[in-house]
């Protein structure tokens, strides 16, 4: 079976190209571009890469992206104070605090931070108000990764309504909102997790299979219905050449990249799934670029909504 590539890089470029004139028009009307504040606490290398990607891509699309980098031992109270400052800053439209926060912070630090962000500026879509709006089927800011998956399916003309969609993973940031967004688009949705019995029996019924687990090569061909559209949300850095060889084959160019860079990012879906699936999103170049594009889109939405409220 020939497997189509669900090209997230191209889809994200198309989203950004559509956003750019709207961003420019906002800047002309308001005398400043839509503005996103990112808070990065600590020195997690993956987070640093994600934040640089958001900063660069936001700037290229015409937004103002301000990154506040704080040391890992910053007290939670200081982070909350910073967030409140962005809440009160009239020239700040969107706020994102990069997850994960340092392990040494309070166990509920992420919850405290999210609940401190003004819901009207919560462009990551994680504040309970915004989660509630997604549950009600009238999202204001849907979380960026799941809304990126919907965008990818739409742009690649993968039908959703009436199809059986199976989501592996039930986190608040990916799995749960993914399931709700698919439901909102009239898919019949099954949600699987670590306690699901006979996972393969469920996943192999999926017309659309979304995997958000974080385990390299977890989804094998026997778990996939022939012809299904498979979206790989997983991103796990690996540095073990043996594991990379098992996943991609000893002659894969990905092993060359690993040798040069010391690590590569891999998805949940085993490459041999391409022998069974009808369409498959790659890692990298699948969901990742769309996550950033949807963040920029949410920031523009926030900026325009605040502009409208000021005029009212």
Site residues (vs ligand NAP, CB under 6 A): 145, 168-171, 173-175, 192-196, 199, 212-214, 233-236, 287-288, 291
Residue 34 vs 288, nearer CB to ligand NAP: 288
From the CB of 168, what's the least distance to ligand NAP, in Å? 5
From the CB of 172, what's the least distance to ligand NAP, in Å? 8
Residue 275 a catalytic site member: no
How much of the chain is in helix, strand and coil states, percent to nearest 5?
A: 45, 15, 35
Catalytic residue among 7, 44, 98, 122: 98
Residue 124 a catalytic site member: yes
From the CB of 208, what's the least distance to ligand NAP, in Å? 17
Distance separating alpha carbons of residues 292 and 14, to the nearest angstrom? 13
Residue 173 vs 228, nearer CB to ligand NAP: 173
Residue 60 vs 73, nearer CB to ligand NAP: 60
Residue 246 a catalytic site member: no
Place of tokens 């050449």: 241
* Burial class of residue 239 (count of CB atoms within 10 Å of its CB; 0-12, 13-18, 19+): exposed
User: In this structure, what are the phi and psi dihedrals at residue 264, rounded to the nearest 5 degrees?
Assistant: -135, 160
From the CB of 307, what's the least distance to ligand NAP, in Å? 28
Catalytic residue among 118, 122, 124, 207: 124
In 3D space, the residue among 173, 218, 229 whose CA is nearest the CA of residue 196 turns out to be 218
Distance separating alpha carbons of residues 211 and 233, to the nearest angstrom? 6
Q: Taking the mean position of all CA atoms in its chain, how far away is CA 3? A: 23
Would you state the structure tokens that stand for residue 206, as one six-digit string?
Answer: 């999926």
Residue 223 vs 300, nearer CB to ligand NAP: 223
Question: Which sequence positions are flagged as catalytic?
Answer: 54, 98, 124
């Amino acid at each position: 079976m020939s497997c189509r590539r669900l090209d997230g890089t191209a889809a994200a470029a198309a989203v950004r190209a559509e956003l750019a004139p709207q961003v420019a028009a906002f800047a002309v009307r308001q005398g400043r571009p839509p503005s996103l504040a990112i808070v990065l606490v600590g020195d997690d290398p993956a987070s640093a890469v994600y934040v640089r990607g958001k900063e660069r891509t936001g700037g290229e699309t015409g937004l103002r992206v301000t990154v506040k980098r704080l040391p890992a031992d910053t007290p939670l109270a200081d982070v909350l104070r910073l967030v409140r400052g962005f809440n009160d800053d009239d020239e700040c439209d969107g706020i994102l605090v990069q997850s994960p926060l340092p392990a040494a912070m309070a166990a509920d630090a992420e919850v405290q931070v999210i609940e401190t962000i003004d819901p009207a500026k919560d462009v990551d879509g994680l504040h309970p108000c915004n989660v509630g709006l997604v549950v009600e089927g009238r999202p204001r800011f849907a979380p960026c990764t799941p809304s990126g998956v919907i965008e990818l399916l739409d742009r690649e003309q993968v039908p959703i309504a009436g199809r059986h969609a199976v989501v592996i993973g039930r986190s608040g940031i990916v799995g749960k909102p993914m399931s709700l967004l698919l439901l909102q688009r009239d898919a019949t949705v099954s949600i699987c997790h670590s306690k699901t019995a006979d996972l393969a029996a469920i996943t192999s019924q999926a017309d659309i299979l979304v995997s958000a687990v974080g385990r390299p090569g977890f989804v094998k061909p026997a778990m996939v219905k022939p012809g299904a559209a498979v979206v790989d949300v997983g991103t796990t850095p690996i540095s073990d050449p043996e594991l990379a060889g098992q996943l991609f084959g000893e002659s894969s160019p990905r092993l060359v990249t690993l040798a040069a860079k010391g690590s590569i990012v891999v998805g949940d879906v085993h490459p041999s799934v391409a022998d069974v699936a009808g369409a498959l999103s790659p890692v990298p170049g699948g969901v990742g670029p769309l996550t950033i594009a949807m963040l920029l889109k949410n920031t523009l939405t926030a900026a325009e909504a605040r502009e409208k409220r000021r005029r009212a």
